[in-house]
Amino acid sequence: MFSENHKTAGVAYPKGFKAAGVRAGIKKSGNLDVAVIYTEKTANVAGVFTQNLVAAAPVRVSKIVVGTGTAHGVVANAGCANACTGEQGLRDAEMMAEIAAKELNCRQDDIIVASTGVIGVNLPMDKMETGIKKAVAELSEEGSVNAGNAIITTDTYSKACATEIEIGGKEVRFGAIAKGSGMIRPNMATMLCFITTDIDIDQKLLQEALSEINEVTFNMVSVDGDMSTNDMVVVLANGAAGNEKITEKNSDYEKFYSTLKNICTEIAKRIAADGEGATKFLTIKVSGAENFDDAKKVGMSVANSPLVKTAFFGEDPNWGRVICAVGYSGVKIVPEKTVIKFGDIPVYAHSVGAKYDESALRKVMSDKNIVVGIELGLGDSEAEIWTCDFSYEYVKINGEYHT
């Protein structure tokens, strides 16, 4: 699905997009920390944002931009979240947009702003201004890798992908960069994700598609159960592909929708797998629920359990911790109908532990990628949640990450 040849192009792969990432000195590490993504051709924009009521200043500003329906670019930084910074923080977020707009010769409300890093610290606006101007000067079709690296915090790598499809005889391209590793919890996962495409599509359809897809991709990720103040996923569609504009839910729309969903799914899984200190990537598959919401609640209860996560880190097939989390999920379950599997091996069935081949189960538990199956036996609905284990390194990373 995703071309390795185009992966490095990322958000600059679709026609008309450029990107850059530079060092501005906001991160103490001295690594890249300011990114700019730009399209000269006006793009329709869609976005979804954190549901944390303590939303950071850039989230508040960017919601207004998405509300206008169009945008020309994104300016983002790492090293400072600009969250819980009061009116000064709001002015700083607006200033980020103002500086970028002036450099890019567009309106201030055409610039999405995003920040990630330590909460409760004001942005160093002198460094930010220098960084934005430098990034704009370095915008290029080869700039996506630097842009991706400029938004990461505790990530071990920048998440990026690019692909293309054919719609109406026209090549339509997609690209993405994202960050996310800790303070990850759905509604949404703690992250920044920027997706670009040169498709021509109605803005309302674009927003509807992203909102729907977010529910079954990014909102199905949990690393540690903590919900950030800064999350956002933004899609820019500039129409440069030249396809007949999609204005209704026809076959072209379905093809677009499927591709966007695949991109969001891929990025969501990479975020879960790159959880802080993670040694295991866990897929929680819940089936046989009465409805989707019940299936998700059960899966999230298991995914968020520290005892479950530490058991998998220790490669201990402690199914008791899993069924315990299922039982307190708040969803009606019937133990006599419930079956839990690690890989393809039943470990709990019909209210008691199941007999299993210990050597076969040991092999499952030693794998990096493990599927936990939970069959409730109550209906036809299902949900798939992605998470990771808790390691010693997770505690170390978060014990040392402070203001």
Minimal CA–CA distance to 56: which of 27, 84, 79? 84
pLDDT at 278: 78
d(CA 356, CA 80): 49
Q: What CATH number has the domain bearing residue 297?
A: 3.10.20.340
Domain total for the chain? 2
Is pLDDT at 295 greater than 90 in this prediction? yes
pLDDT band at 9 (very low <50, low <70, confident <90, very high): confident
Q: Could you tell me if 134 and 162 lie in one domain?
A: yes
pLDDT at 28: 85
Write phi, then psi, for 94 (nearest 5 degrees): -65, -35
Is pLDDT at 190 greater than 70 in this prediction? no
Q: What CATH number has the domain bearing residue 268?
A: 3.60.70.12
- 201 forms bridges with which residues in the sheet? 246
Q: Could you tell me if 238 and 379 lie in one domain?
A: no
Q: Could you tell me if 36 and 116 lie in one domain?
A: yes
Residue finishing a domain among 272, 299, 334: 272
Q: What count of other Cβ atoms lies within 10 Å of the Cβ of residue 220?
A: 27
pLDDT at 183: 44
Q: Could you tell me if 14 and 59 lie in one domain?
A: yes
d(CA 333, CA 326): 8
- Report how far apart, in Å, the C-alpha atoms of 189 and of each of 29, 177, 198, 201, 244 are: 25, 15, 26, 26, 34
Q: Could you tell me if 229 and 310 lie in one domain?
A: no
Minimal CA–CA distance to 175: which of 208, 199, 191? 199
Q: Could you tell me if 262 and 286 lie in one domain?
A: no
147 contacts 10 by C-beta, under 8 angstroms? yes
Helices (H), 105-246: 125-137, 144-149, 203-216
Task: Examine the residue annotation and report whether 70 is marked as an active-site residue of this protein.
Answer: no
Q: Could you tell me if 239 and 346 lie in one domain?
A: no
Residue finishing a domain among 252, 272, 292: 272
* From 85, 116, 153, 190, the catalytic residue: 190
- Report how far apart, in Å, the C-alpha atoms of 129 and of each of 23, 78, 79, 89, 119 are: 12, 14, 15, 15, 20
Round the average pLDDT of the chain to a whole number and report it: 91
The domain of 86 spans 4-272
Residue finishing a domain among 272, 297, 321: 272
339 contacts 377 by C-beta, under 8 angstroms? yes
Read off the tokens for 57.
Answer: 């200043």
Contacts of 314 (CB under 8 A, 6+ apart): none
pLDDT at 45: 98
More confident residue, 373 or 280: 373
Is pLDDT at 4 greater than 60 in this prediction? no
Q: Could you tell me if 298 and 248 lie in one domain?
A: no
Percent of the chain with pLDDT over 70: 91
What would the pLDDT profile of 125-180 be if each residue is shown by its tens digit?
999 999 999 999 999 999 999 999 999 987 888 899 999 999 999 999 999 999 97
d(CA 241, CA 67): 24
Is pLDDT at 387 greater than 60 in this prediction? yes
Q: What helix, strand, coil percent values describe the chain, rounded to 5?
A: 35, 25, 35
pLDDT at 242: 97
Measured at the alpha carbon of residue 398, what is the angle toward residues 393 and 402, in degrees to the nearest 5? 145
Q: Could you tell me if 377 and 236 lie in one domain?
A: no
What would the pLDDT profile of 209-234 be if each residue is shown by its tens digit?
999 999 999 888 876 444 567 789 99
Q: Could you tell me if 112 and 31 lie in one domain?
A: yes
